[in-house]
Structure 1
Amino acid sequence: MNRPLRLVDSITELRPGADTGCLAVSGSHGGISSAHYALAAQPMLAVFNDAGVGKDVAGLAALPFLQRHGIAACTVAHTSARIGEARSTLHDGVVSHCNAQALSLGIEPGQACAALIRQLQGSGG
């Protein structure tokens, strides 16, 4: 099954119900507020920007939160992709952090975002 790819500059653009099971590539930071929008939409994978990780690792808070809900999530390095631009996340982004669910899909730090999306679409996820 070829998972639909949703490119959204803001994770708030995901549609609960309509985007369930999609591969969501966003320009949003990986903070907890973003995590709640992803949880509502239930994508198979949510990709965020690590936003420089931030104080108390706030830029990665979505990863463990979504892990607890069975959703794969990862971030791309803020030095590799522009924050707020999903196309930059997809085409320029390099994975910086992953939750265990993402690791189980074969996603790992250092991987190009475009390559991981091709991998997941080719395997049927």
Structure 2
Amino acid sequence: MNVPVIVIDGVTKLPPEANGGVVLGGSNATAYAAYFSAKAGARAAIHHDCGIGRDEAGVRGLPWADQHGMAMAAVAAASARVGDAADMLKRGIISRANKLAAASGVENGQTVAQAVERLKSAPWPHDTNMEAPIERRTFIHGVLCIGSISLGTPEDAGLVVASGSHGGATAAPMTSAFRPRLVFFSDAGFGADRAGVASLPILDSDGIAAATVSAESACIGDGESTLTQGVISAVNETAHRLGIRVGEKALSAARTVAERPTLHPK
């Protein structure tokens, strides 16, 4: 059976070939990310577990996918870089599989390459007429909370933003596109090659203050959790100059910056 395999760093915009194929995506395995693979008609999906983290938020998409008829598995953060699907295929190890993936022969400890082959026989098609998990844009103490950094807009320039996204390299261009004053991500458990915080030095070079919160402290995929529960685990130099420090609570740091007057107001 000729089943296409789509190896892609982010799943928010999948090609037509995803319909009926196996999607290997560098995105997290939250329900919101799983929705994009399912909506595209993927036969099965493998995403990154981002350290699993608080309340197992990094793999919440697996039971969600079961409910919507899509086999899904997750890759251990320590085995391959988040946001780098080619690396996941090369050296990734499966950490979790949902019921449909397990029925196709996927098991914890398998290589991603082995899992991809087994998922080519996953049941298909499934219903693609599902509603997206709720993605809210809320303000708490003047801080914009968004589930994904991809939801940032040019109108958000200069704001303090708490994002539910991982802090991998793929987050950097989406952040630079709207230039927040300060942005928070999940560290995705740091993982292989510290890929979960790879965007921080990239954003430094663009003059954007950025920090991550521990995946164990806040639920990845949930900007409100990043802000209200997150404990800072890494900062770039630009954020450090704003006074942001590792070990500080994200809410305290964010409020301090958000309430500080800007030198160059819009």
Q: TM-score range by the shorter chain?
A: over 0.9
- Counterparts of 1:120 and 1:56, CA distance in 2: 30
Once residues 71 and 13 of structure 1 are traced to their aligned partners in structure 2, the CA distance between those partners, rounded to angstroms, is 17
Higher relative contact order (CA 8 A, sep 6+): 1
Deviation at 1:107, TM superposition (A): 0.3
Note the alpha carbon deviations across 1:49-106, whole angstroms, 9 max, x for none.
0000011111011100000000000000011000000111011000000000000000
Which of the residues 180, 202, 216 maps onto 1:79?
Answer: 216
Instruction: Please give the TM-score of this superposition, normalised by the length of structure 1.
Output: 0.93
C-alpha displacement at 1:121, in angstroms? 2.3
Secondary structure of the residue aligned to 1:123 is: coil
Q: C-alpha separation between the residues in 2 aligned to 1:110 and 1:116?
A: 10
Q: 2:146: which partner in 1?
A: 8
Amino acid at match of 2:228: H
Distance 1:24 1:100 in 2: 17
TM-score normalised by structure 2 residue count: 0.45
Partner of 2:194: helix, strand, or coil?
Answer: helix
- Choose which of 83, 89, 95 in structure 1 pairs with 2:232: 95
> Cα deviation per residue 1:32-53 (whole Å; 9 max; x = unaligned)?
1111110111111110000000
Which aligned segments of 4 or more residues in structure 1 are displaced greater than 3 angstroms?
A: none
For 2:252 and 2:230, the matched residues in 1 are separated by 10
Q: How many residues align?
A: 122
Q: 5+ residue gaps in structure 1?
A: none
Tell me which residue corresponds to 1:122.
259
Cα RMSD (Å) of the superposition?
A: 1.4
Is 2:159–2:258's contact at 8 Å kept on the other side of the alignment? no
Q: For 1:74, what is the secondary structure of its paired residue?
A: strand
Q: Larger Rg: 1 or 2? A: 2
- Could you say which residue in structure 2 is the equivalent of 1:48? 185
Q: 1:118: Cα distance to partner?
A: 1.5
The answer for unaligned runs of 5 or more in structure 2 is 1-141
% same residue: 40
Amino acid at match of 1:76: V
Alpha-carbon distance in structure 1 between the residues aligned to 2:219 and 2:196: 14
Paired letter, 2:150: T
Please state which structure has a larger fraction of its residues in helix: 1
Q: Which amino acid aligns with 1:108?
A: R
Aligned to 1:18: 155
